[in-house]
Amino acid sequence: MPEVRTRFAPSPTGFLHIGGLRTALYEFLWARKNNGKFILRIEDTDVKRTVPGSLENIVQTLKDFRLNFDEGPILQSQRLDIYFKHAQELIDKGHAYHCFCAPERLDQLRKQQQENKQPPKYDKHCLKLSKDETEAKLRANEPHVIRMNVPAGQRISFADVIHGQISVSSDDLDDQVLLKSDGFPTYHLAATVDDHLMGITHVIRGEEWVPSAPKHILLYSFFGWPLPQFVHLPLLLSKTRKKLSKREGDVAVKDFLEQGYLPEALLNFVALLGWNPKTEQEIFNLRELTEEFSLDKLNKAGAVFDPEKLDWLNGVYIRSLKVEDLFARISPYLIRAGFELEKYPKEFLLRILLLEQARLKKLSEIGERVKYFFSDPAYDPEMLRWKKVDNRQLSESLEIAKKIIINCQFPISKEEIQNAFFAEIGDKDKGAILWPLRVALTGLEASPGPFEIMDAFAVLPNGKEIILKRLNTAIEKLFQS
């Protein structure tokens, strides 16, 4: 068995998207599983579409997800002589030819074909040029491309690991441009030549490349090279079953990370888009994925990207973090929300996080959830109302809470505050006191309970004053309303 070699071959045309991450992951996993090699190849042969910074983003993203490559990044733009040499070899063998047709002629041809309801195809016009004619044009530096000479009436077949036998007629293929007038190869030539020269054993990529594969198969046969295994991954679909695209929401990996999806969770989620472990297990770290992954568990049907599942999975990963680790990861979001962390004891911040950890779905939610710890909340006094009690009863409840707090000796533990309250409330309706107390502290409809919140405030030197101030504000609000 030859060494398994896979490659991730993105074009640097923007930020890496979710589909790219999935392709990279599967290629990485297959290489690791077989003790093979994972290669990063940058397909930067379309100069106009190359976006500065994409290469760095691709490399950084792979690093963020610990998908370490063994070779690369190899830039195709630095291998132009190799593609030129191979294009020349095809010309020498009669499998390719120079084409000098001007864009105007090609446009005209396409229009005619459209009118006649024919598929757009080059008409092999320049194949009729004699050797001398071609050489004269080349000497005169006429702009030209090199096209593949697709033979008529051939069946082109190959076996795809997921889709099985795929077969097309060569009559349906165009004489694809292999080398452009700027001297750059097209994707088809560069990818095929590189996959062979780099000893790639498994070409794993998105299903959108299936229509290109027959052209590549022809190229392999022109060169007399053995075929790698082809693995065309199912399309990624939105919940409305449309192809996942920017219009359907975020697709750039960077955007997901910025929203506070943990790389481990995102990777786990992406792994399950098209790969089915065939067990009940849903949580996989990278090591487990490497153990479990296999090509025969890849699905054929499109994989639906379900944002709710991603949120759920992210919550699972957030809950599994040690609070110190959560703190390290979430600090940038707290700072972005405007909280001056350096002004607070670390213990206070950790207690807040412990309160929120169980409910958090993504890190970016934190600012909204905990802002009441950092500034007095604004809220409608109606929120204070417990059941149908009137303002007088409500303010009495808040006064009772105030009295209990005043009598408490701070710093104080959560149990001690709780005991103080329960001793006072006795058999009375707990909600009547605890609901307005909680709203006075948070200004929110839903939050952790008042004892947990006061337990966090108790860490602050002025914790008791903050609590009392908020109770006073609530009482005042009732009188104003």
Binding-site residues sit at 246
- The catalytic residue among 85, 239, 246, 428 is 246
Identify which of residues 189 and 433 has a Cβ nearer to ligand GLU in the complex: 189
Q: How near is the Cβ of 9 to ligand GLU at its closest, in Å?
A: 4
Which of 4, 5, 9, 361 binds ligand GLU (CB under 6 A)? It is 9
Active site residue 246: yes
Q: How near is the Cβ of 196 to ligand GLU at its closest, in Å?
A: 13
- Supply angle C-alpha 434, 437, 440, rounded to 5: 150
Q: How near is the Cβ of 169 to ligand GLU at its closest, in Å?
A: 23
Question: Is residue 25 within the footprint of ligand GLU (CB under 6 A)?
Answer: no
Least Cα distance to 289 among 27, 20, 11, 13 occurs for 27
Question: Is residue 205 within the footprint of ligand GLU (CB under 6 A)?
Answer: yes
Question: Is residue 213 within the footprint of ligand GLU (CB under 6 A)?
Answer: no
Question: Is residue 202 within the footprint of ligand GLU (CB under 6 A)?
Answer: no
> Is 148:95 a contact under the CB 8 Å cutoff?
yes
List the interface residues with ligand GLU, window 461-480 (CB under 6 A).
none
Identify which of residues 9 and 417 has a Cβ nearer to ligand GLU in the complex: 9
Query: What sign results for the dihedral spanned by CA atoms 200, 203, 205, 209?
Result: positive
> Is 204:16 a contact under the CB 8 Å cutoff?
no
Question: Is residue 14 within the footprint of ligand GLU (CB under 6 A)?
Answer: no
Choices 4-12, 111-119, 171-179, 313-321; region in contact with ligand GLU by CB under 6 A: 4-12
Question: Is residue 264 within the footprint of ligand GLU (CB under 6 A)?
Answer: no
**Position of minimal CB gap to ligand GLU:** 205
Question: Is residue 271 within the footprint of ligand GLU (CB under 6 A)?
Answer: no
As to burial, measured by CB atoms within 10 angstroms (0-12 exposed, 13-18 middle, 19+ buried), residue 10 is buried
Q: How near is the Cβ of 132 to ligand GLU at its closest, in Å?
A: 38
Choices 8-16, 161-169, 276-284, 414-422; region in contact with ligand GLU by CB under 6 A: 8-16
Q: How near is the Cβ of 277 to ligand GLU at its closest, in Å?
A: 24
CA 437 to chain centre: 42
Annotated binding-site ranges for ATP: 246
Which of 4, 6, 11, 256 binds ligand GLU (CB under 6 A)? It is 11
Question: Is residue 62 within the footprint of ligand GLU (CB under 6 A)?
Answer: no
Residue that is written with structure tokens 């905990």 in the block: 370
Question: Is residue 191 within the footprint of ligand GLU (CB under 6 A)?
Answer: yes
Rg (the chain; Cα; Å)? 32
Which of 10, 14, 381, 463 binds ligand GLU (CB under 6 A)? It is 10
Choices 3-11, 65-73, 79-87, 426-434; region in contact with ligand GLU by CB under 6 A: 3-11
Q: How near is the Cβ of 252 to ligand GLU at its closest, in Å?
A: 14
As to burial, measured by CB atoms within 10 angstroms (0-12 exposed, 13-18 middle, 19+ buried), residue 378 is exposed
Identify which of residues 61 and 473 has a Cβ nearer to ligand GLU in the complex: 61
* Residues recognised as catalytic: 246
Using CB under 6 A, list all residues that contact ligand GLU: 9-11, 43, 187, 191, 205, 209
